[in-house]
Structures are given as structure tokens and as C-alpha cells.
């Protein structure tokens, strides 16, 4: 059942509120230099929700297997993997951790990840990455190895390709599928570094585990 105009406006207003509140909360704690607070909240969330990355990791694996045989399916898998990694593994934990009330935290973080687009939250994602990973040029200007375009710009390109597939029944080339896979893989690697700096690692199933990994990289 589709929403009417009023319902759509109300949902948009809630999302705008949640987005603004999330950024204000993060900025407030960062400005107060309470790195320990943010770190502890992230660690607590990963301990309580160790399975949040499994689907994203599984889709990244499926994407790698289909780049040549079915590039369109591969692109969809990797594009979804990127979105879930950003929303569920990076964005939701920090937003949830910054709100003291558990019920309000769940409401706000769920509102954020329900949105189909992630661009409106990019500044918050950039801050989280920059505050927890050493990125000399900052998250906004970060480029994966061998690329002249920023990773975020490449993600936007992939998102447009995904939308054309989903809404216009278009297909994509093997080269475009490879780009989408590499973008998703880079976000996975950044997330792996993020959780690693907090004392966690991805196990062989994509589960977030406490400690250091003794195994080779999943990809």
C-alpha cells in the first residue's frame, strides 16, 4: 500500500529530524573530546550485534563469483553490500550509541537505515571514518588504489547504475560490475580497519568477533 502525500511528508520530516539529531549528537561528543565514550558505545554495539555484517559479506562474495558470468547480478549484489555495510555496520551503531534512551536510539537508527539513499548521511559517515581510521586526505577525498575519483564519487556512479537496472530494466557491462565490486570491497576493507581499531575482526562467516584474526583476509 503506497503512502499518500501527507504520510510521505511526515516520514520525510521524521527522517530529517533523525538525520539532524544524529549529526548534532556526534558533533557534540566529538567536540567534548570524549573518544572513550564513542569507542565504548561502538564496542558495546558490536558485542551485542555480531551478525550485522554477515549479509553484506555474503552479497560481496556472490558479486565476486558473478562478475564475468552475470555482471548485472554482480553489480546488484555488490551495490547492496556497500549500502548495508555503510548503514548497518558503520552508521547505525554510532547513532544508536550516541542516544542514551535505548528505545529512542532504536527509533532514530532504524529511521536512518530505512532510507534508500545514503548521500544525506555522508558527512556523518565521513566523520566516523576519519575519527577512527588514519586517512591522510580525509574520508571525503579518499580514493581506492589505482583510481583518480574519490571512493564516494565512485559509489554514486554505482548507485546510478543500480537505479537504472532496478527502474529501467537495464543491464550493465563487466567493467561496470567490476567497478561496483571494487567499491564494495574497499568499503569492506575500511570497515574491517574500523572494527579492527576497536578490537574486533571479521571471522570466516562475516561475523564480528572480539580479538585479532589469525586467518587470511576473506577477499
Q: Which of 26-40, 56-70, 122-136, 165-179 has the lowest mean pLDDT?
A: 26-40
pLDDT score, position 34: 47
Within 10 angstroms of residue 209's Cβ, the number of other Cβ atoms is 16
Q: How confident is the model at residue 168 (pLDDT cuts 50, 70, 90)?
A: very high
Q: What is the mean pLDDT of residues 185-213?
A: 93
Question: How is residue 150 written as a grid cell?
Answer: 574519490
- Distance (Å, whole) CA 83 – CA 73: 16
Q: Give the distance, in angstroms, between the CA of residue 39 and the centroid of all CA atoms in the same chain.
A: 18
Residue 98 lies in a domain: yes
Residue 21 lies in a domain: yes
β-sheet bridge partners, residue 208: 202
Q: Which long-range contacts (CB under 8 A, 24 or more apart) does 106-110 make?
A: 107/18, 108/18, 108/21, 108/22
Q: How confident is the model at residue 154 (pLDDT cuts 50, 70, 90)?
A: very high
Question: How is residue 180 written as a grid cell?
Answer: 561496483
Q: Domain range spanning residue 46?
A: 5-207
pLDDT score, position 169: 95
Residue 151 lies in a domain: yes
State the total domains in the chain: 1
Res 120 pLDDT > 80: no
The mean predicted confidence, pLDDT, of the chain is: 83
Residue 31 vs residue 118, higher pLDDT? 118
Residue 34 lies in a domain: yes
Amino acid at each position: 500500500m503506497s503512502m499518500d502525500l501527507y504520510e510521505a511528508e511526515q516520514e520525510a520530516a521524521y527522517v530529517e529530524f533523525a538525520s539532524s539529531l544524529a549529526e548534532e549528537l556526534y558533533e557534540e561528543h566529538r567536540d567534548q573530546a570524549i573518544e572513550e565514550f564513542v569507542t565504548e558505545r561502538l564496542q558495546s554495539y558490536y558485542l551485542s550485534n555480531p551478525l550485522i555484517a554477515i549479509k553484506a559479506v555474503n552479497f560481496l562474495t556472490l558479486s565476486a563469483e558473478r562478475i564475468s558470468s552475470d555482471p548485472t547480478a554482480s553489480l546488484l549484489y555488490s551495490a547492496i553490500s556497500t549500502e548495508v555495510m555503510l548503514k548497518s555496520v558503520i552508521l547505525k551503531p554510532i547513532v544508536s550509541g550516541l542516544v542514551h534512551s535505548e528505545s529512542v536510539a532504536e527509533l532514530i537508527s532504524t529511521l536512518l537505515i530505512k532510507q534508500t539513499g545514503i548521500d544525506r548521511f555522508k558527512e556523518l559517515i565521513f566523520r566516523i571514518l576519519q575519527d577512527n581510521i588514519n586517512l591522510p586526505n580525509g574520508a571525503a577525498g579518499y580514493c581506492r588504489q589505482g583510481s583518480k575519483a574519490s571512493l564516494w564519487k565512485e559509489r554514486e556512479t554505482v548507485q546510478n547504475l543500480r537505479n537504472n537496472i532496478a527502474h529501467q530494466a537495464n543491464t550493465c557491462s563487466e567493467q561496470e560490475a567490476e567497478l561496483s565490486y571494487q567499491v564494495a570491497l574497499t568499503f569492506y576493507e575500511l570497515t574491517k580497519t574500523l572494527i579492527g581499531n576497536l578490537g574486533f575482526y571479521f571471522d570466516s562467516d562475516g561475523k564480528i568477533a572480539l580479538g585479532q584474526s589469525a586467518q587470511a583476509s576473506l577477499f
